[in-house]
Amino acid sequence: MPVSEVHHVAMTVSDLDRAADFYEKALGYRRTLRTDVGGPGIEESLGLPEGTTGKVQYLQGPTRIGQLELIEWNGTKKRTATAGHLELGTFLLSFQVPAEEMDEVHERLARLGADCLGPPRRQLLENYGYITAFAARDPDGNLLEFVSLPGRAEILAFRGREG
């Protein structure tokens, strides 16, 4: 039996309030549960050092699937990923955006001070069709992708032309 969709993604942030404000405004997600975490149960279940505590803020999009969990752990924060796309682990978070909203999302992120790596660009993906996408970095430097995808009929039509 397969596992369900991704329920949520947890990200360590340097400033919980700043990150929650950014994602709330950038994505239009709403804040839900805010809580403190710590203690032997969470230390054991997540393999954390003894005495680790943190503050958590969940943000939810249009459905309960794919929530964003922001965590500000106690202690000094540091960014260790230096190899970019060659660093093992999460490379980026990708969010689907309707084609007609892509420019507005790009402008919203720019207004929020996100480091947008370029404007939305139309790109051909072999055996799939055309997508429109752009990438930006959040306040902690995490890479975010915003993508508009073709519908199933468009993909099938594209593949029909290719074959």
The residue type found at 100 is: E
For 31-62, what is each residue's pLDDT tens digit? 999 999 999 998 998 899 999 999 999 999 98
User: Tokens 């207004």, residue?
Assistant: 111
User: Tokens 């794919």, residue?
Assistant: 66
Domains of the chain, each with CATH number or no CATH: 1-75 (3.10.180.10), 89-163 (3.10.180.10)
Mention every residue, 6+ apart, whose C-beta is less than 8 A from residue 46.
none
The three-point CA angle 123-126-132 to 5° equals 20
pTM equals 0.84
Mention every residue, 6+ apart, whose C-beta is less than 8 A from residue 145.
92, 93, 94, 95, 133, 134, 135
Please report, rounded to a whole number, the percentage of residues in the chain having pLDDT higher than 90.
Answer: 63
For 112-153, what is each residue's pLDDT tens digit? 999 999 999 999 888 888 899 999 999 999 999 999 998 888
